[in-house]
Structure 1
Amino acid sequence: MVAEEWGREAGNDGWHRRWEAALCRSYERADDVFKDNSLAPYSVGTTALVAILSPCQIIASNCGDSRVVLSRGKQAIPLTVDHKLDREDEVARITNGGGQIINWGGLRVGGILNMTRAIGDHDLKPWVIAEPEVTFMTRSEDDEFLILASDGLWDVMSSDDAVKLARYELRRRRRLPEKGDTPSSPACGAAEELVKIAYDAFSTDNISVVIVDLKAPRIRSLQNTEKRSSLPSSLAQDEKQM
Structure 2
Amino acid sequence: MEDAVTVAPRFASVGTAPYDFFGVYDGHCGVSVAWACRDRLHVVLAEKVMATSFSRVDGELALKEREVGSTASVAVVGPERIVVANCGDSRAVLSRGDMAVPLSSDHKADRPDERKRVEAAGGVVINWDVYRVSGVLATSRSIGDHYLRPYVISEPEVTVTNRTEEDELLVLASDGLWDVVSNEVVCKVASQCLSGQLVRKVPDGAREHRAKEAAIILAELALSRGSRDNISVVVVEL
- Give % identity: 45
Q: What residue in structure 1 maps to residue 61 of structure 2?
A: 34
Q: What residue in structure 1 maps to residue 160 of structure 2?
A: 136
Gap regions ≥5 residues in structure 2: 1-40
Q: What residue in structure 1 maps to residue 14 of structure 2?
A: none
Q: What residue in structure 2 maps to residue 25 of structure 1?
A: 52
Gap regions ≥5 residues in structure 1: 9-21, 215-242
1:106 counterpart = 2:106: no
* Per-residue deviation, 1:101: 0.7
The aligned runs of 1:207-222 (5 Å cut-off) are 207-214=231-238
More helix by share: 1
The aligned runs of 1:1-242 (5 Å cut-off) are 1-7=41-47, 22-37=49-64, 40=65, 42-172=66-196, 179=203, 185-214=209-238
Q: How many residues align?
A: 196
Describe the superposition over 1:214-240 as per-residue Cα deviations: whole angstroms up to 9, x where unpaired: 1xxxxxxxxxxxxxxxxxxxxxxxxxx
* Per-residue deviation, 1:175: 8.2
Amino acid aligned to 1:146: L
Q: What residue in structure 2 maps to residue 233 of structure 1?
A: none
Q: What SS does the corresponding residue of 1:137 show, helix, strand or coil?
A: strand
**If you compute each CA radius of gyration, which structure gives the higher value, 1 or 2?**
1
Q: What SS does the corresponding residue of 1:172 show, helix, strand or coil?
A: coil
Say if 1:203 and 1:179 are closer, same or farther in 2 by CA, change over 3 A.
closer
* Per-residue deviation, 1:33: 2.6
Cα distance in structure 2, aligned partners of 1:109 and 1:174: 40
* Per-residue deviation, 1:7: 3.8
Answer yes or no: is the 8 Å Cα contact 1:147–1:211 preserved in 2.
yes
Answer yes or no: is the 8 Å Cα contact 2:199–2:213 preserved in 1.
no
Q: What SS does the corresponding residue of 1:60 show, helix, strand or coil?
A: strand
Describe the superposition over 1:89-112 as per-residue Cα deviations: whole angstroms up to 9, x where unpaired: 101000011001111122110000
Amino acid aligned to 1:25: T
Describe the superposition over 1:94-153 as per-residue Cα deviations: whole angstroms up to 9, x where unpaired: 001100111112211000001000001111111100000000110000100000000000
Cα distance in structure 1, aligned partners of 2:187 and 2:195: 12
Describe the superposition over 1:35-91 as per-residue Cα deviations: whole angstroms up to 9, x where unpaired: 123xx4x22100001101111101111000000000000210000000012321101
RMSD, aligned CA = 2.1
Amino acid aligned to 2:74: V
Cα distance in structure 1, aligned partners of 2:124 and 2:195: 47
Say if 1:105 and 1:179 are closer, same or farther in 2 by CA, change over 3 A.
closer
More strand by share: 2
Amino acid aligned to 1:195: A
* Per-residue deviation, 1:34: 2.2
